[in-house]
Chain A
Amino acid sequence: KAGVTQTPRYLIKTRGQQVTLSCSPISGHRSVSWYQQTPGQGLQFLFEYFSETQRNKGNFPGRFSGRQFSNSRSEMNVSTLELGDSALYLCASSFGTPAYEQYFGPGTRLTVT
Chain B
Amino acid sequence: AQSVTQLDSQVPVFEEAPVELRCNYSSSVSVYLFWYVQYPNQGLQLLLKYLSGSTLVKGINGFEAEFNKSQTSFHLRKPSVHISDTAEYFCAVIRAGNMLTFGGGTRLMVKP
Q: Scan residues 49-73 of chain B and give those whose CB is less than 8 A from a CB of chain A.
A: 49, 51
Contacts of A105 in B (CB 8 A): 43
Interface segment out of the listed B12-20, B77-85, B97-105: B97-105
- Total B residues in contact with A, Cβ cutoff 8 Å: 22
Q: Is the interface of B mostly helix, strand, loop or mixed?
A: loop
- Total A residues in contact with B, Cβ cutoff 8 Å: 26
In the complex, the chain B residue whose C-beta lies closest to that of A33 is B98
In the complex, the chain B residue whose C-beta lies closest to that of A90 is B43
Number of A-B contacts (CB under 8 A): 63
B102, A43: Cβ atoms closer than 8 Å: yes
Most-contacted residue by chain A among B36, B97, B98, B100 (CB, 10 A): B98
Contact of B49 among A31, A43, A97, A100 (CB under 8 A): A100
Using CB atoms and an 8 Å cutoff, list the residues of chain A in contact with chain B: 4, 31, 33, 35, 42-43, 45, 48, 50, 55-56, 58, 90, 92, 94, 97-107
